[in-house]
Structure 1
Amino acid sequence: MSRANSVTEQLTRAGQAIEHDSFSIIDAEAGPHAYEPMQWPIVRRMIHANADFEFNGLTAFHPQAVAAGVSAILAGGTPVVADVEMICSGLSRPRLAHFGMRAHQFISDADVIADAHAQDTTRAVQAMRKAHRLGLLRGAIVGIGNAPTALIELVRLIREEGARPALVVGMPVGFVAAAESKALMATVHEVPWIVIRGRKGGSTLVVAALHALLALAESRQRASA
């Protein structure tokens, strides 16, 4: 019986061939790197998402990040909490459904907008607070690709209010507090994380990282079947 992934691969042989050839090109052009065998597929898929080889080096991992992410996925039903709708739209619903997972975001909810106005904060801050109030952060995989304030607030929730996601994929892009928010996340010891150092990032990269984790989880699942 084939051990190839069937859920987290492209749906056609032609699509699979293109993706695998792309990965081979990335491996060849990247050359030697410092990432562990379970970390490199994540970095490689991020490079594949935008053809930027600087992520070979800019991407940093908490020592337990990959293991925590894969375990959370295999546990089944783990929520994905995102800062923006773009991440939810970019994630493959069939791949999430295979593990009983759903993606959530609250950035445009009326109560989030009202609270942001009332408290003179950003919608992203209030969206993270709402996810915490709803109990969605506990054991979740949190993906932040757009809003540095969401990542900063998440660190506060972890340190001051006991929020305990299974994994944080913190990759907000931008010029105001983006680099600083990721550097702050990288000081967190209580929760595993994957971050991109510096200004670069974006929702596309969060989606790529999460798809890579889903593929790693399916490989583990099939190996143990």
Structure 2
Amino acid sequence: MEIKKVLPSEIESESFRIIRSELSQMGKEIPKDIEPTVVRAIHTTADFEYADTLTFSENVIKKAKDAIRNGASIVTDTNMALSGINKKALSKFGGEAFCFMADEEVAQIAWDRQVTRAYVSMDKASEVKKPLIFAIGNAPTALIRLRELYDEKGFRPELIIGVPVGFVNVVEAKKLILEMDVPYIVNVGRKGGSGVAAAICNSLLYNM
């Protein structure tokens, strides 16, 4: 086995080259508009299944970029996803990134109602007076609450990134988002995670 000598500044670009080469060898042709997002998700996970399972609503990349240009902010369901988003790139367009999971009021309401903090944090986020992108990588209950807010109050985010990972209500919660008339990027099935949610956000920010 030969170890490649790659400069630190070239590691990411070389990784992307390998990913694109292997996708080509698999015979997978990714549409140009979604290709950067698919490649970055694979780069984050080393899992080529994302080429098949990432699901995009019509014209979602253009709609998402337009929202960012118009100052949309990003709400996550974990501090891990929050830390992974390039907030400097987002701030160039006037956007901010939020996570309300550690909010004391959210925690108290969740305890009182015996629901998850992720569920309650979506209510908190819906009160932010800005166009919003939701990047959900951990909690299916966050997606469930977003669907309820859509059904009950007509709440319409600019984009929902629905990629929670797990076994309980994960597949079902993602299907709820696929049924909404809202721009979405959803990974069908059990796979996902906070890193994937952040990677999808960055795929948009790095290709504005």
TM over 0.5: yes
The one-letter code of the counterpart of 2:68 is I
Gaps of 5+ in 2: 1-6
Say whether 1:148 aligns with 2:125.
Answer: no
Instruction: Please tell me whether residue 126 in structure 1 is matched to residue 120 in structure 2.
Output: yes
- How many residues were matched structurally? 201
Task: Give distance in 2, aligned partners of 1:60 and 1:186.
Answer: 9
- Structure 1 gaps of 5+ residues are 1-13, 218-225
Between the aligned partners of 2:207 and 2:34, the Cα distance in structure 1 is 10
Residue by residue over 1:120-146, the C-alpha shift from the partner in whole angstroms, topping out at 9 and shown as x without a partner, is 21111100011113335xx21110001
Corresponding residue of 2:96: 102
Change in Cα spacing, 1:39 to 1:110, as seen in structure 2 (3 Å) is same
SS of 2:47's partner is coil
Counterpart residue number, 2:41: 46
- TM-score, normalised with respect to structure 1: 0.85
**How many angstroms apart in 1 are the aligned matches of 2:101 and 2:114?**
15
1:26 — aligned with what? 19
Question: What is the Cα deviation at residue 94 of structure 1?
Answer: 2.0
User: How far did residue 79 of structure 1 move?
Assistant: 0.9
Write the letter of the residue equivalent to 2:195: T
Q: 2: CA distance between counterparts of 1:216 and 1:15?
A: 21
Identical columns (%): 39
The TM-score, its normalising length taken from structure 2, stands at 0.91
What are the superposed Cα offsets for residues 6-45 of structure 1, whole Å, 9 maximum, x if unpaired?
A: xxxxxxxx44422121111101111233532110110000
SS of the aligned residue for 1:69 comes to: helix
Q: Within 2, Cα distance between the matches of 1:134 and 1:212?
A: 24
Cα distance in 2 between the residues matched to 1:61 and 1:19: 25
CA RMSD of aligned residues (A): 1.6
Q: Is residue 23–residue 29 contact of structure 2 (8 Å, CA) maintained in 1?
A: no
Tell me the equivalent position of 1:195.
186
